[in-house]
Amino acid sequence: MTILALETSCDETAVAILRGTELLASEVASQTQHEAYGGVVPEVASRSHLVHAPRLLECALADAGVALDEIDAFAATSGPGLASSLMIGASIAKGLAVGAGKPYLAVNHLEGHLLSPFFGTDEIERNVSLVVSGGHTLLVEVRGVNDYRVLGRTVDDAAGEAFDKVAKLLGLGYPGGPEIEQRAPDGNAARFDFPRSMLDSGDHNFSFSGLKTAVRYRLAEFKIDERAPQLVNDLSASFQRAVVEVLVKKTVRAAKECGVNLVTVSGGVSCNDALRKEMTLRCDRAGLQLRVAPPRLCTDNAAMIAFAAALRFRAGNCSEVTVEIDPNLALV
């Protein structure tokens, strides 16, 4: 079974071809022009998808050595994401499916992240999963493909949003996660005692808006001429430690309460080295296994969409080509 998938939920244009468990091709074009705006501009993103998608489609087919008529099914991200961006990938995949007379699968972007730690395998083990990306922070109990129970989510800013907003406050570039991670090792993480919001809330939800505000107030205590690089490093380190502590402790706690022995982590923020190290340490102490998606599958990509589509297709699930995109699509 060979599946071609497109991912255009935000500002990455991606095409991948998966045959069985073997990734034959994976092409990604990142839209660096959004850095000038400090965030993604939907109109700019959708126009860029129109430019990149045909080229990436040709490259993927050439790299895979596969003809279009050898594709067994076509898939695309149907949500959540930017409506104008989602429409591009879904329209292309639908058109290809109709033209080839092959099945079409609409894939939830969050499910792509959720299953990515198992990429290349045939079986999804029961686990508690932390999906942590630019726009989403979720804790999910995964029992199998299309069998999910959302345990908790952010009540305001997602962790990735907090990284971006704090980086902007500190005068750093976009996206903010890598910028803060780069400076944190040179900072004193104990200098600022930032709040660990909802750490002991009694549920599995998250909140990072208050943490962002706390950074802003502490930064305001220093005059412009006092904001030396070391201050930025210390604020970055202290902020990162607060985010990581909340993510890790609540994930391990959820796994224990659900009675599972496997934790998985995925999404763009899971590339953060401090998060990976702390999660590994805490899981080891708690006697839990840990599977983290490889970095190439953490940021938006079509390989994870193809993998999720393959698992659904194998289970007998397909979508009507009339299915609409849903920018606010929920996981369950």
pLDDT given for residue 46 in this prediction = 87
CATH number for the region 125-292 comes to: 3.30.420.40
Say yes or no to pLDDT of 94 above 90.
yes
Name the pTM for this structure.
0.94
239-249 pLDDT per residue, tens: 999 999 999 99
Q: Backbone phi, then psi, for 284, in 5-degree steps?
A: -60, -45
**Section 295-314 average pLDDT:** 96
3-47 pLDDT per residue, tens: 999 999 988 899 999 999 999 999 998 755 546 556 678 788 888
Question: DSSP letters along 87-140, please?
Answer: HHHHHHHHHHHHHHT--EEEEEHHHHHHHGGGTT-S----EEEEEE-SS-EEEE
pLDDT given for residue 39 in this prediction = 67
User: 245 is written with which tokens?
Assistant: 């502590």
CA distance 23 to 20: 8
Superfamily of domain 2-115+297-314 in CATH is ATPase, nucleotide binding domain (3.30.420.40)
Residue scoring higher pLDDT (2 or 36): 2
The ranges assigned to domains in the chain are 2-115+297-314, 125-292
Mapped onto helix, strand or coil, the DSSP state of residue 172 is coil
CA distances 115 to 31, 136, 180, 245, 269, Å, are 25, 15, 27, 24, 16
User: 109 is written with which tokens?
Assistant: 């972007």
User: 223 is written with which tokens?
Assistant: 């005059």
2-115+297-314 and 125-292 share one CATH topology? Answer: yes
168-211 pLDDT per residue, tens: 999 998 889 999 999 999 999 999 999 999 999 999 999 999 99
